[in-house]
């Protein structure tokens, strides 16, 4: 597989671009190679900020409709195709812009591939300069499991990947969400075979996602919760008044978890005044 | 399309599958379109061959951005 991909001319070009950027960071700013990778990752993520911020905003907006979407998912539990179609319909009817989109994620693919092949070349023809990072990664071209620091890096990877999934996974489906959260534990076995520099890229990009998620949430006003549905029946195909949303001003969900909207707390229970003479029936 | 003209499309389909089992699995996301971008790419490649299918898949990927609405968008 690697050989097939490496034969593609575009891979070679991507690698050349990555090498140029890394060389520039290394020579001009005297950064060690590992830090050059970290800075390259930060540059890429900075370029993607407009895309990801918009994505976080859409996701917050989406959370307002979590209960209704859950009902649709429940209703078509056994028919994924129909479930997707109904969800799309629901988005359209309620003017929702689904948060998830392929482009921001895919934009990172060329960088990932370029770094992967650059590190492979580094391993074969080591350039001048230190290949270590923070004293616990002796060489970024080595396999992650070939030194003890690599295991530390893997633990940080799993933690940061889970945290970034928590912030960025744009699905309201709880099962899918848990699956996404567990995935790093499975993939850690695949990643263990990658060069440490690539894991470094991964950890950096995850930590950026977490930081950006935290900052955007703080700066962004919380979206208003939709009016509470009075019935527990699934929404019909036609748009209904209560699914219009936006006008409610109840409590907004805090975390990204697709929780049902908390019911508006009315404070102390209402006292019912009775006429003095009226007896209980 | 006959088998000969369809053959190069399978190269593209192979690449989509390579993406699905590697990067796509590592960076889980849900697509805002139905069918999803990768499924759309496979269908477009099968229906219209490598060149036109790739262009269609590329255009769909560009449309799958945070500003678009998403929704039902089958290969035509």
Residue A277: alpha-carbon gap to chain centroid: 63
Contact B65 A51 (CB under 8 A): yes
Other beta carbons within 10 Å of B41: 25
Q: Which residue of B has its CA nearest to A104?
A: B65
pLDDT at A264: 41
> Based on the structure, what is the number of domains in chain B?
1
B47 shares contact with chain A (CB less than 8 Å):
no
**Domain region containing A194:** 2-63+102-219
Whether residue A80 lies inside any domain: the answer is: no
pLDDT at A228: 47
Whether residue A269 lies inside any domain: the answer is: no
Torsion angle in degrees (nearest 10) through CA of B27, B28, B30, B31 = 30
Write the secondary structure of A27-56 as one string of H (helix), E (strand) and C (coil): HHCCCCHHHHHHHHHHHHHHHCHHHHHHHH
Residues of A in contact with B30 (CB under 8 A): 98, 100, 169-171, 176
Contact A85 B31 (CB under 8 A): no
Mean pLDDT of B45-60: 93
What lies within 8 Å, CB to CB, of B14 at 6+ separation is none
pLDDT at A130: 81
Optimal mutation site among B10, B23, B28, interface A, most CBs of chain A within 10 A: B28
Q: Tokens for A227?
A: 């009016």
pLDDT at A24: 92
Whether residue A25 lies inside any domain: the answer is: yes
Whether residue A172 lies inside any domain: the answer is: yes
Q: What 3-state class would DSSP assign to A137?
A: strand
Whether residue A69 lies inside any domain: the answer is: no
pLDDT at A11: 81
pLDDT at A92: 74
Residue in B23, B36, B69 closest to A97 by CB: B69
Q: Which residue of A has its CA nearest to B19?
A: A109
Contact A97 B30 (CB under 8 A): no
Residues of B in contact with A1 (CB under 8 A): 18
pLDDT at A222: 57
Question: What are the mean pLDDT values of chain A's consecutive 10-residue runs (281 residues total)?
Answer: 64 88 90 90 90 77 76 81 79 71 82 87 82 82 86 90 75 68 81 87 90 80 52 46 36 40 45 47 41
> Based on the structure, what is the number of domains in chain A?
1
**Domain region containing B38:** 3-72
Burial of A30 (0-12, 13-18, 19+ CB in 10 A): exposed
Burial of A111 (0-12, 13-18, 19+ CB in 10 A): buried
Whether residue A68 lies inside any domain: the answer is: no
Give the pTM: 0.69
Rg of the Cα atoms in chain B: 13
The confidence band for B31, taking pLDDT boundaries of 50, 70 and 90, is confident
A101 shares contact with chain B (CB less than 8 Å):
yes
Residues A62-74 have pLDDT tens digits of 777 777 877 887 8
pLDDT at B60: 93
Contact B29 A190 (CB under 8 A): no
pLDDT at A52: 81
Q: Are B52 and B20 in contact (CB under 8 A)?
A: no
Whether residue A257 lies inside any domain: the answer is: no
Residues A132-145 have pLDDT tens digits of 887 788 888 888 88
Distance separating alpha carbons of residues A87 and B45, to the nearest angstrom: 26
Range name among A63-77, A166-180, B6-20, B53-67 with the lowest pLDDT average = A166-180
């Amino acid at each position: 597989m690697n050989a097939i991909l490496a034969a593609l001319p575009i891979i070679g070009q991507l690698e050349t671009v990555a090498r140029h950027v890394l060389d520039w960071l290394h020579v001009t700013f005297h950064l060690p190679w590992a830090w050059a990778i970290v800075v390259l990752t930060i540059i890429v993520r900075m370029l993607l900020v407009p895309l990801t911020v918009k994505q976080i905003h859409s996701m917050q907006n989406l959370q307002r409709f979590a209960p209704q979407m859950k009902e649709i998912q429940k209703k078509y539990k056994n028919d994924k195709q129909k479930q997707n179609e109904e969800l799309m319909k629901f988005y359209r009817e309620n003017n929702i812009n689904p948060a998830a989109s392929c482009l921001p994620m895919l934009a990172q693919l060329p960088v990932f591939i370029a770094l992967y092949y650059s590190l492979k070349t580094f391993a074969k023809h080591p350039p001048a300069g230190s290949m270590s990072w923070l004293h616990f990664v002796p060489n970024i071209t080595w396999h992650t499991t070939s030194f003890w620091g690599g295991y530390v890096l893997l633990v940080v990877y799993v933690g940061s990947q889970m945290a970034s999934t928590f912030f960025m996974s744009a699905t309201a489906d709880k099962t899918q969400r848990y699956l996404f959260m567990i995935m790093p534990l499975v993939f850690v076995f695949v990643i263990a075979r990658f060069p440490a520099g690539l894991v470094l890229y991964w950890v950096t990009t995850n930590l950026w996602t977490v930081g950006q998620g935290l900052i955007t949430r703080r700066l962004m006003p919380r979206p208003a919760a939709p009016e509470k549905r009075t019935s527990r029946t699934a929404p019909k195909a036609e748009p209904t008044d209560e699914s219009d949303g936006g006008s409610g001003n109840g409590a907004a969900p805090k975390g990204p978890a697709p929780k049902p909207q908390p019911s508006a707390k009315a404070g102390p229970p209402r006292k019912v005044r009775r006429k003095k003479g009226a007896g209980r029936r | 399309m006959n088998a000969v003209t369809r053959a190069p499309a399978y190269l593209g389909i192979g690449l989509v599958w390579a993406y699905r089992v590697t990067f796509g699995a590592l960076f889980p996301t849900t697509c805002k379109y139905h069918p999803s971008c990768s499924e759309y790419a496979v269908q477009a490649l099968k229906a219209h061959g490598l060149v036109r299918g790739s262009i269609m898949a590329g255009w769909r990927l560009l449309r799958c951005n945070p500003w678009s609405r998403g929704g039902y968008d089958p290969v035509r």
